[in-house]
Chains A and B, each alone.
Chain A
Amino acid sequence: MMKSPFFASASALCLGLVLSLGAGSQANAAANCIKGDRKAPYTIGWANIYSVPTWMKQTQGTIEAEVETLKKQGLVDKLVVTDAQGDANVQIQQIQSMIDSNVDAIILIAGSSTAPARVLADACAKGIAIINFDSLVDTDKVTAKVNTDSSQWGDQAAKFLIDAIGGKGKILILNGPAGVSVSDDRRKGADAELKAHPDVKVLAETNTPYNVAPAQEAVTSLLFANPEIDGILSLGGALSAGAVLALDKQGREQVPITGENARQFLELWKEKGLKSWATMQPNWLGAFATYTAVQALEGKDVPAFVKIPLPVIDNSNIDAYLARAKDFPADGYIYSPYDEELFKKLLAQK
């Protein structure tokens, strides 16, 4: 709140000063938040928002595997795990506890895109490396953010579907929960394509949790109301599986559908011979965040934002994914393969 022009110009001056100082310190190549006073082996804090979903368990699996690798290299000695049970307030309290116990790095999936900003600023001021992935926080007071592009997800999915139904027809759109950034962003990403094709008519949209049962229920009731459906733009794997099952139970013909790398959906895809397209939020984002935190603590410069290209599954490579299915839980996600080479390449991109 600017009370007077003088105050405004004074604060603008201060801001300029801070910015130039910031630019100066970046010349030293150290990543954001890193002060260089922390020495290996490091303690890594993994502030999970909710450990129960299978995606989270698999993600934690990649983090634990990465920590084992880093332990062998003498870079990490301990992994501290918290679970906020879905409550953003609890997550803040747990991050505070991590600061209190002086961990060297915090990797987190945020329970709210705004709520953890202040506690993370405290952590950053203490020289703790913070790598935020998957659900991101609207703050720059972190070492790096890592994510795929949700709006690109929606855009590519819409492109595929519109193409698959020949540029016109009636479609359903299946979204994740309302008010959740990922779900909003994927949906918004689809807007441009939908606007460009006025012949594609959106019959209805759903908002359900990313679970098979509620999606199946929602689609079932939409099927009763809409005898003619040409395609389904689904912005989540469990949602797609629910939709395919709903069509199947109703004895309706399968239609082109988009999806995600959920094993159940990929298997249905093969079984029902669908024309489909899927992408993924790779679980190895967790391993990559851990790797990046240690790189930053070791004094390497890491980009403030690492954009992970979306791996695409379509009818050309679905078999390769399904061939590895047995290594993944039945209700899990078959993620693309990863190794340290890939991580190095992702960190080197500008």
Chain B
Amino acid sequence: MSTVSPAKSAGALYWPVQMRRNIGVRSLFIVVLAFLVAYGVLFPGLFSASGFAKFTQSWFPLALVAMAQAILMLTGGISLAIGATVSLGAVIAATTMAGPLGVAGGAAAVALTGLGIGTATGFIVVRLRLPAIVVTLAGSFIIGGAALLVLPRPGGAIPAWLSDLLAGNTPAAFVLLVAIVLLWKLYLATPLGLSLYAAGENPVGAYRSGVPVDAARVAAYAISGLLSTGAGLFVAAQTGSGDPVIGTAFTLNSIAAAVLGGIGFLGGQGTMRGALAGSLLLSLMISVMFFLGFTPVAQYVAQGLIIIGAVAIPQFRKVQQ
């Protein structure tokens, strides 16, 4: 019998537990690392400040939407409205920030919109017990329509200094991403955060154990909405303007990144680091295949093969065992 104090054993347990959580995505990490090395070899400019900055800027919005999708999938939900929400965030940023509201007011409007959309979606899904896939599909039309109402065609403006700050030649995007990941770690330590996995994996059991299942799920939707409009704000800053359909592709890409990162559709399975690695792989693939000189047709095929490979390798191992 071990006689260590509870505090010490908790500390000693932390890293082994974290390592065990990595098992499912270890092969993905290896693939991502291989791609990073390949990218560095093909394009040495990656190691310059501006090269690194531009690379992380390409990845950043995808990383945010991957997180937005992963949170929902961890609670057993899903969102088909992420792309539309990104678009709405982008057009709100592009129409408010150069106006009387200013950057702070615009950012607040973007954040409130995201939280509002997320909370509303969460309430409808959780309280009315409606399937998330249906609610968010309908939501995507409403939100996409709202984006077109705010800005019927591409336009608007983001103050140049903000564009240069977020998407210039400094790795501000990377710093922001690190900050967001740290916030995620903090959130997981709060009661709502702790309930997240339980609410996803076994909602009934969790509810009977006194876990605030509904609150955890609504909060997940709210955070997901905030991350999505935040990604929209970044895209607007990166491009210097708003486009009402700029986010469309993010819906599918966010799901791809999360699934690639080992997040299960049934809830409670997977890790945020997996989803982030998945999004990084999707982003890296584009640049690496360019530098390898793949033709567009070969890129389609290679993309599919890489995704299947990254998902299938852990399964092969399981079968062998």
Q: Which residues of A contact B (CB under 8 A)?
A: 1, 48, 51, 80-83, 85-90, 92-94, 96-98, 100-101, 112-118, 138, 178-181, 184
Q: Is the CB of B58 within 8 A of A80?
A: no
Taken residue by residue from 49 to 93, chain B's Cβ proximity to chain A (1 for < 8 Å, 0 otherwise) reads as 001001000100110000000000000000000000000000000
B153 CB-CB contact with A under 8 Å = yes
Q: Is the CB of B290 within 8 A of A112?
A: no
B295 CB-CB contact with A under 8 Å = yes
Q: Is the CB of A82 within 8 A of B243?
A: no
Contacts of B245 in A (CB 8 A): 112, 179-180
Q: Is the CB of B246 within 8 A of A112?
A: yes
Residue from B62, B239, B290 within 8 A of A116 (CB atoms):
B239
B264 CB-CB contact with A under 8 Å = no
Of the candidates A48, A87, A113, A180, the one having the most CB atoms from chain B within 10 angstroms of its own CB is A87
Q: Is the CB of A114 within 8 A of B243?
A: yes
Q: Is the CB of A83 within 8 A of B242?
A: no
Q: Is the CB of B286 within 8 A of A94?
A: yes
**Cα-based distance from A89 to B62 in the complex (angstroms):** 10
Q: Is the CB of A179 within 8 A of B152?
A: yes
Taken residue by residue from 99 to 141, chain B's Cβ proximity to chain A (1 for < 8 Å, 0 otherwise) reads as 0001000000000000000000000000000000000000000
**Cα-based distance from A138 to B295 in the complex (angstroms):** 29
Nearest 8 CB-CB pairs, A to B?
Answer: A83-B296, A114-B241, A87-B249, A115-B239, A114-B154, A97-B290, A93-B58, A113-B154
**Cα-based distance from A87 to B245 in the complex (angstroms):** 10
The minimal Cβ–Cβ distance linking A110 to chain B, given in whole angstroms, is 10
Contacts of A1 in B (CB 8 A): 98, 102, 159
B291 CB-CB contact with A under 8 Å = yes
Contacts of B218 in A (CB 8 A): none
Number of A-B contacts (CB under 8 A): 101
Residue from B159, B249, B296, B300 within 8 A of A48 (CB atoms):
B296
Question: Interface on chain A toward B: helix, strand, loop, or mixed SS?
Answer: mixed
Given contacts A89-B235, A100-B54, 19 further A-B pairs with CB under 8 A are A48-B296, A51-B297, A80-B293, A85-B249, A85-B300, A87-B253, A89-B62, A89-B246, A90-B249, A92-B239, A93-B283, A93-B286, A93-B287, A97-B291, A101-B290, A118-B167, A118-B240, A180-B245, A181-B153
**Cα-based distance from A118 to B157 in the complex (angstroms):** 12
Closest to B293 in A: A80
Of the candidates A87, A89, A100, A115, the one having the most CB atoms from chain B within 10 angstroms of its own CB is A89
Of the candidates B248, B249, B291, B293, the one having the most CB atoms from chain A within 10 angstroms of its own CB is B249
Q: Is the CB of A82 within 8 A of B58?
A: no
**Cα-based distance from A87 to B283 in the complex (angstroms):** 12
- Contact of A88 with B246 at beta-carbon distance under 8 Å, contacts A114-B155, A114-B241, A117-B241 already known: yes
Taken residue by residue from 278 to 296, chain B's Cβ proximity to chain A (1 for < 8 Å, 0 otherwise) reads as 0000010011001101011
Q: Is the CB of B238 within 8 A of A92?
A: yes
Contacts of B163 in A (CB 8 A): 118
Q: Which residues of chain B from 197 to 232 have any CB-CB distance to chain A below 8 Å in the complex?
A: none
**Cα-based distance from A14 to B242 in the complex (angstroms):** 27
Residue from A92, A97, A113 within 8 A of B153 (CB atoms):
A113
- Contact of A89 with B249 at beta-carbon distance under 8 Å, contacts A1-B159, A112-B239 already known: yes
B43 CB-CB contact with A under 8 Å = yes
Contacts of A116 in B (CB 8 A): 239
Residue from B155, B249, B297, B299 within 8 A of A86 (CB atoms):
B249
Q: Is the CB of B249 within 8 A of A112?
A: no
Q: Is the CB of B58 within 8 A of A96?
A: yes
B244 CB-CB contact with A under 8 Å = yes
Q: Is the CB of A112 within 8 A of B295?
A: no
Closest to A185 in B: B153
B177 CB-CB contact with A under 8 Å = no
Contacts of B290 in A (CB 8 A): 80, 82, 94, 97-98, 101
Residue from B148, B152, B242 within 8 A of A114 (CB atoms):
B242
- Contact of A101 with B154 at beta-carbon distance under 8 Å, contacts A92-B238, A96-B58, A115-B241 already known: no
**Cα-based distance from A115 to B158 in the complex (angstroms):** 12
**Cα-based distance from A227 to B238 in the complex (angstroms):** 50
Q: Is the CB of A81 within 8 A of B296?
A: yes
B45 CB-CB contact with A under 8 Å = yes
**Cα-based distance from A320 to B245 in the complex (angstroms):** 40
Closest to A183 in B: B153
**Cα-based distance from A82 to B291 in the complex (angstroms):** 11
Closest to B296 in A: A83
**Cα-based distance from A116 to B152 in the complex (angstroms):** 18
20 contacts between A and B (CB under 8 A): A1-B102, A51-B296, A80-B290, A82-B290, A83-B296, A89-B61, A89-B62, A89-B249, A92-B58, A93-B283, A96-B54, A96-B58, A100-B43, A100-B45, A101-B290, A115-B235, A115-B241, A117-B240, A179-B153, A180-B245
**Cα-based distance from A117 to B243 in the complex (angstroms):** 12
Contacts of A97 in B (CB 8 A): 43, 286-287, 290-291
Of the candidates B62, B154, B159, B250, the one having the most CB atoms from chain A within 10 angstroms of its own CB is B154
**Cα-based distance from A327 to B297 in the complex (angstroms):** 23
The minimal Cβ–Cβ distance linking B228 to chain A, given in whole angstroms, is 14
The minimal Cβ–Cβ distance linking B54 to chain A, given in whole angstroms, is 5
Of the candidates B245, B250, B283, the one having the most CB atoms from chain A within 10 angstroms of its own CB is B245
**Cα-based distance from A89 to B156 in the complex (angstroms):** 17
The minimal Cβ–Cβ distance linking A243 to chain B, given in whole angstroms, is 25
Of the candidates A101, A115, A116, A184, the one having the most CB atoms from chain B within 10 angstroms of its own CB is A115
Contacts of B51 in A (CB 8 A): 100
The minimal Cβ–Cβ distance linking B9 to chain A, given in whole angstroms, is 46
Q: Is the CB of A82 within 8 A of B296?
A: yes
Closest to B45 in A: A100
- Contact of A101 with B58 at beta-carbon distance under 8 Å, contacts A94-B286, A114-B241, A118-B167 already known: no
Contacts of A87 in B (CB 8 A): 248-249, 253
**Cα-based distance from A98 to B98 in the complex (angstroms):** 31
**Cα-based distance from A48 to B299 in the complex (angstroms):** 13
